Amino acid sequence: MDKQLQLIDRGPWDVFTTGDASRVGLGSFRLVELARETVLDHLGRSLFAFHPSEPLSAEDAHRRLTAGITRLHPDAVLICRSAVVAHGLPVFDVDLGRALIARPVTAERVAQHWTTRPKVDWLGSVDTEAGRAAGIAAALVLHALEDGPIAGIVALDQALHESRVEIAEVEELAELVTRWPKSSHVRTMLAYADGRSESVGESRTRVELAMAGIEVEPQYEISDEGGRFVARVDLRIKASKVLLEFDGLQKYRGEDGTEALIAEKRREDELRRLGYVVVRFTWADLYVPGRIVARVRAALAAERAAA
């Protein structure tokens, strides 16, 4: 490695600008050579990063990119999905290859890996490891506008669950965008948000059913005939004994996976003894349009037929 590289001042994501490199005597031509040798990653015009020793997740790759962008543009504030990721909130089915920032510009500017938009005065801002980001409420409103209500709901549910934002804060900012294009995305996000959901999978399952007119209760607690607590399930279909569980499968991995699987089986046997029907979903189900709704309707029909 070039000795000059070791002298570069870089942040927690090992990113730096061509200006940073120039101060230690490294020119653009040499940086491009090092990128070809995979010593460095070229993140965009005037922006480089040290190649990581281990592959980065999509979220961490996005954080690295935004840390670099805000280093390149100190007046920038992360917005939309970039702010959501910076705050550590979940994203679902969004393009993490493109970052979004706001700066004091008069019109939108599009670069290879990021888009710059005019800054509005209600963004707020907070320092994060991934760069200076809009406040959580503003990030959520702009995220829904940009990436749709489902993406917004997933992030808002988690923010509410962790008590990181109040729904009134989001509603207040939502009023400011009522005349913006796609403002219906924000209204839909607020209509379906529920901080009782504890994971992206639960949020997605709940919202898909609710949008199909099937009402559910999140985190439903069940006791036996003697009042002994048996289980708390992800979702229950209202006015029924149909229970829904979303399996992220993580709890069944590792050294304790077998014990977790056995405990889950015993729990499910007890629920069935009490007359409940348990329907399980996985990530694969979320990507097949209509599958979740169809399976739930089939379970409800079977319950009615057995009554």
Q: Quote the CA–CA distance of 88 and 55 in Å, as a whole number.
A: 19
Q: Which three-class secondary structure state does DSSP give residue 123?
A: coil
Tell me the pLDDT tens digit for each residue of 293-302.
Answer: 999 999 999 9
Residue 144 pLDDT level (bands cut at 50, 70, 90): very high
Closest CA to 24 of 11, 42, 5: 5
What does the pLDDT read at residue 249?
A: 54
Beta bridge partners of 236: 217, 243
Position with higher pLDDT, 218 vs 266: 218
pLDDT surpasses 90 at 261: no
Q: Which residue has the tokens 């909130």?
A: 89
Closest CA to 185 of 139, 145, 215: 145
pLDDT surpasses 80 at 2: no
The backbone region for 176, taken as left when phi is positive above 0, alpha when psi lies in -120 to 50, beta otherwise, is: alpha
Tell me the H-state helices in 163-277. 167-174, 183-192, 200-211, 257-273
Tell me the pLDDT tens digit for each residue of 207-217.
Answer: 999 999 999 99
8: Cβ contacts below 8 Å, ≥ 6 apart: 16, 20, 21, 24, 26
pLDDT surpasses 60 at 199: yes
Write down all domains in the chain, each with its CATH number in brackets: 3-50 (no CATH), 58-192 (no CATH), 200-306 (3.40.960.10)
Q: ∠ at Cα 101 (21, 39), nearest 5°?
A: 30
Q: Sheet harboring 277-281: ordered strands across? A: 216-223, 229-237, 242-246, 277-281
Residue 252 pLDDT level (bands cut at 50, 70, 90): very low
Q: What is the dihedral of CA 156, 132, 66, 115, to 10 degrees?
A: 80
What does the pLDDT read at residue 305?
A: 87
pLDDT surpasses 80 at 163: yes
pLDDT surpasses 70 at 222: yes
What does the pLDDT read at residue 256?
A: 56
pLDDT surpasses 80 at 12: yes
Mean local confidence (pLDDT), 105-111: 96
Does the pTM surpass 0.95? The reply is no
DSSP 31-96: HHHHHHTTSEEEEETTEEEEPPSSPPPHHHHHHHHHHHHHHH-TT-EE-HHHHHHHTT----S--T
Looking at 24-38, 192-206, 253-267, 270-284, which range is the least confident one? 253-267
Q: What is the mean pLDDT of the chain?
A: 92
Q: Quote the CA–CA distance of 128 and 63 in Å, as a whole number.
A: 10
Q: Quote the CA–CA distance of 194 and 207 in Å, as a whole number.
A: 9
Mean local confidence (pLDDT), 218-224: 93
Count of all residues that appear for the chain in the document: 307
